Amino acid sequence: MCGLLVFLSCDGTADRSALAAALERLHHRGPDETSMVADGGVVFGFTRLAIIDRAHSRQPGQYRHWTVAFNGEIYNYRQLREQLAREHGATFATEGEAEVLAAAFHHWGPSAVGRLRGMFAAVLWDAASGTLHAIRDPFGIKPLYHLRTPDGLYLASEKKALMPFAGGAARIGAAQLSHYLTLQYVPEPATLHPAVHRLPAGHALTCRVGQEPQIRRHFEPALRPVPRPAADAIAAVRDALRESVHAHLQSEVPLGAFLSSGVDSTAVVALAREVHPGIRVYTAGFDDPRYSEIEAASETAAALGVDLTATLVRDEEVIEALPRIVWHLDDPVADPAIVPLYFLCRAAARDVTVVLSGEGADELFAGYEIYREPSALAAVAGLPDPLRRGLRAVAGVLPEGMRGRSFLQRATTPIGERYYGNARIFGADEKARLMRGPAEPHTAVTAPIFRAAQGLDEVSTMQYVDLHTWLPGDILTKADRMSMAHSLELRVPFLDRAVYAAAASLPPELKLSPHATKHALREAVRGLVPDAVVNRRKLGFPTPTRVWLRGPIGEWAADVLSETPVDHLIDIEHVQRLLAAHRRSAGDHSRKVWTVLMFCLWYTQQPATASLYTAVP
C-alpha cells in the first residue's frame, strides 16, 4: 500500500523540490518509506506502507525498459509470475508485485490488466516507446487522480498532492457542486475542481510526451442472469466468497477485520477465522443505543469466538475530528457514516496494519432497501400511460408532505429519472433556490449509465447505476480515505472478480426475498454465521446526525456556517434557516444541513483561488 505521485514532463525537466514537497502530503498513505526516481522525462514519487517484506521490492520498480509505481495488492501475482516465467522466460530480480506488473505489461501489453486480481492503481512508464500507462482496478477500490498542465501530466493517489500544480485552474465547478448537493459526493470522473479528474474505476490511461491522455475502459460490470438451479447459484456464491476471503489474508503484519451487526462483515469474519482463528475484530457505536451496533456486534463476536474491540464515539470528538476527516477526503463526502468509520480505523490501527471489511456486498447482492422500490411501485407503474399521467397530475396538487404524494410521484416517474442512488439530498427545485450558479440535473450523470443498462430488470438496473456511481463515489472513497488517514490497509473481499462473477449471474428472484435483501448471500452463509445475523436487516454503522445537530454539534455547525465565506456559491442564510428549524424540531433537515456543513469545512481548507467560481462542466 502506498501513495503515488508521478509527473510526465513535456520538455524533460521537473522541479524535484516541488514534487518532493507535494509527495509529503501523501505521507499518511506510506509512512514506512519515501522515494523518488527520475527516468527520462518521468519522475516517480512513492510512499510505502510495508505489508509483506518481499526481498528487494522497493518501489518504483523496474523490469527491462519499464518503470512502475504501484498502490494496492495483486493477490494472484505469484501465479502471474510463474506464468510469465513459463511462457516468456521472464526472470525477476525481486519478490514483489511491482516487477511482476511491469513484466506483465511488457509481455502481454495493456491487456495484462484483465489478468490482475486485486485492488490497484498503478502508473507504468515504457521508456522504449515513450508511453505512460495508468490503470485502476475494476471497482475503484484504490484512487488515482490526474491533472494536465502546460508543463506536463501529473498523477497522484490523492488530489491534495496535485493542487500545488493546479495554479489558476483551482476553481470550483458549478456542475460538480450541483451534483454534490444532490448525491452527497462528486461523481467520477469529476472533482470539485474541474481541472483535476479521477481516472474512473475500471479504466486505463495512456499518454505520450506532449500529447493529450487517452482514456479507455478495461472492465465493464455486466449483470446478466444465468438460468440454473438456485442451490447451484448459492453454492457458487459461497465458494467464491470463501476463496476470496482466504486470498485477502496474505500479510506479514498484524491483520484484523471490521464487524458491524450485519451479514456482510460477519460473513467475512466467519470465513477469515477458518484460516486465522484468533483474528481480532473491531466495531464502533455511540452513546445513544438507537444508533449503536456495539451490542449486536458483541453478541456476534461471542458466537464466532473472536475478540472484539469496541469504540464509542463522543460528540466532542466529532467536532475535533471533522476538519481532519474532510482534509483526508480531498472533496467533501457528506455520508455521516464517515465519522464512525474514521474512529473505527483509528482504533484498529493501534493493533493491526491490515483489516478486512464488507464493502461492495450491497451493490453486488442487492442489499439496499431501496432496491425493493420497483416491486412496491409495480401496481401503479404498470398502469396505462394516460392513467399514470392523470395520477401524476393529482400528485402535483397534493400538499407537500401529504401521505401518498411521494409514492404517486415516484410510481409515475420513469426509473431513469427517479433513481440516482441511495442519497437524495437537495432536489432540483431546492437547488435552484440554494445555488448562486446554474444547477445541473442528476440525469446528466445517470442518463448514459441507464442507456448502457438497457435490457436489465429494474433491480439490476439500480445495482448497475450504483456500481458506477455510489460504490466508487461514496462507499470506496470513504473506506480508502478513512483507513489511509491512519496508515491502515483496508481490503474488501466482496469486490473480487470471482465473487462479482457469481453475483452478476444471479436471477432477480435470488436477490430479494419477500422478507429480506441479499437473499442469495444470506443463504450462502447460512450455517457459517449465526441465524440472528442471517435474518437481521441492514444497519451499516448508523450515525445520529439528527440528534447531533440539536445539541452542541449543532451549535458548532451554526458557527461554521456563519463564518465560512461561501455566500457567493450557496444561499447560506437558507441553510441557516434549515438548521434553526431543525434545532427547534420543526422538521428533520439534518442531511441537508450536514451536506452543506461538510462543504463549508472543505472550503475553508482550500487556497485563495477556490473563491473563483466557474461554470465549466
What does the CA dihedral 183, 195, 12, 206 come to, rounded to 10 degrees?
50
Instruction: Order across the sheet with 66-74: list the strands.
Output: 61-63, 66-74, 118-126, 131-136, 203-208, 214-217
Please, what's the b/e burial string for 441-472 (b: 16 or more CB within 10 A of its CB; e: otherwise)? Answer: bbeebbeebbebbeebebbbbbbbbbbbbbbb
Task: Say how far apart CA 43 and CA 269 lie, in whole Å.
Answer: 41
Calculate helix-pair angle for 263-272, 294-304, nearest 10 degrees: 30
Task: Say how far apart CA 192 and CA 198 lie, in whole Å.
Answer: 11
Closest residue by Cα to residue 489 from 479, 478, 499: 479
Contact present, 491 and 244 (Cβ < 8 Å): no
Task: Say how far apart CA 385 and CA 381 lie, in whole Å.
Answer: 9
Q: Is the peptide bond before 60 cis (omega within 30 degrees of 0)?
A: yes
Burial class of 128 by CB neighbour count within 10 A (0 to 12, 13 to 18, 19+): exposed
User: What residues are paired with 123 via a beta bridge?
Assistant: 69, 134
Task: Say how far apart CA 118 and CA 132 lie, in whole Å.
Answer: 21
Amino acid at 231: A
Measured from the Cβ of residue 427, the count of other Cβ atoms closer than 10 Å reads: 12
Name the catalytic one among 2, 207, 345, 600.
2
Task: Say how far apart CA 351 and CA 254 lie, in whole Å.
Answer: 7
Task: Say how far apart CA 52 and CA 42 lie, in whole Å.
Answer: 27
Q: Is 2 among the catalytic positions? A: yes
Task: Say how far apart CA 243 and CA 274 lie, in whole Å.
Answer: 11
Task: Say how far apart CA 259 and CA 269 lie, in whole Å.
Answer: 7
Grid coordinates given for 93: 530480480
Cα–Cα distances (Å) from 361 to 76, 101, 178, 365, 416, in that order, read 22, 28, 29, 6, 23
Task: Say how far apart CA 77 and CA 20 lie, in whole Å.
Answer: 30
User: What residues are paired with 37 via a beta bridge?
Assistant: 44
Residues annotated as catalytic (active site), given as ranges: 2
